[in-house]
Amino acid sequence: MLFLKRYLPLVICGFTGVVFGIQYYVPHKASEDLLTFINDWMIIIFGFSMILALASLFHVHYQKIRRRQSGWGFSLIVFIAIIVTVIIGIISQGETVDEKGLTSFGWIYTNMLVPLSGTMFSILAFFIASAAFRAFRARTLDAFLLLFAAIIIMFGRVPAGEYLWSKIWGAEFPLQMGDITEWIMGVLNMAARRGILLGVALGAIATSLKIIFGIERAYLGEKE
């Protein structure tokens, strides 16, 4: 059992990690066929993982309803929404439109999912404005610089800002608002982002190597 639970997954992980690490650099047909074969399996496994995800979702919400935990009514809505959508989706054969126009499934998508998702996202505008008013303070020099850059970007990324700038300095002024925002985005922002990306990439490489060589075993459920 120990072999199946601990050593076999490590062997599979190490072997596939090394093989596909090398595969990337070998453009031979056999190597490409191997990638295609494994990739097909990965797509199939990914499909099955969705069933697992659905089962897990049902389990979590079922437990909430059974124990009458706070907000259990929302879990009930999750159940009803999923079941109704799946039934209507099957009846509509997964089609959102047919020759008559929107199917029932399409109606749910267009008139329920789209506006509900849009509403959820647009609520952010209200909270961002409120949070900016309360929290965006120039308490230190760093915070002031961040605040200053944010104001320039917000000012310069809208036509009204560009319009006002050109009205103040004139359309012939060599430094237009668009140039300033592009410089902040393309130089200051880009340099900081690149640093973060490099750090993340190096971390990902180190973690991948640790997993491939069996040093990092947290994915097997083992503690550090």
Which positions lie near another protein, rule CB under 8 A? 24, 32, 35-36, 39-40, 42-43, 46-47, 49-50, 96-97, 106, 109-110, 113-118, 120-122, 125-126, 128-130, 132-134, 136-138, 147, 150-151, 154-155, 157-163, 176-178, 182, 185-186, 189-190, 193-194, 197
Q: What is the radius of gyration, based on Cα positions, of the chain?
A: 27
For the bound state, the minimum distance from the C-beta of residue 93 to another protein, rounded and expressed in Å, comes to: 9
Name which of 3 and 24 has its Cβ closer to another protein. Answer: 24
Q: How many angstroms from the chain centroid is the CA of residue 95?
A: 26
For the bound state, the minimum distance from the C-beta of residue 196 to another protein, rounded and expressed in Å, comes to: 8
Phi, psi values for residue 65, rounded to 5°? -70, -45
Phi, psi values for residue 197, rounded to 5°? -60, -45
For residues 23, 26, 31, 35, the Cα torsion angle rounded to the nearest 10 degrees is: 40
For the bound state, the minimum distance from the C-beta of residue 8 to another protein, rounded and expressed in Å, comes to: 23
Name which of 142 and 224 has its Cβ closer to another protein. Answer: 142
Name which of 47 and 170 has its Cβ closer to another protein. Answer: 47
Q: Which residues pair with 102 in a beta bridge?
A: 97
Tokens 């399996």: give the residue: 41
Q: How many angstroms from the chain centroid is the CA of residue 121?
A: 15
For the bound state, the minimum distance from the C-beta of residue 149 to another protein, rounded and expressed in Å, comes to: 11
For the bound state, the minimum distance from the C-beta of residue 171 to another protein, rounded and expressed in Å, comes to: 10
Please count the helices (runs of H) and the strands (runs of E) in the chain: 10, 2
The one-letter amino acid code at 169 reads W
Name which of 75 and 92 has its Cβ closer to another protein. Answer: 92
Name which of 1 and 135 has its Cβ closer to another protein. Answer: 135
Tokens 């009205």: give the residue: 167
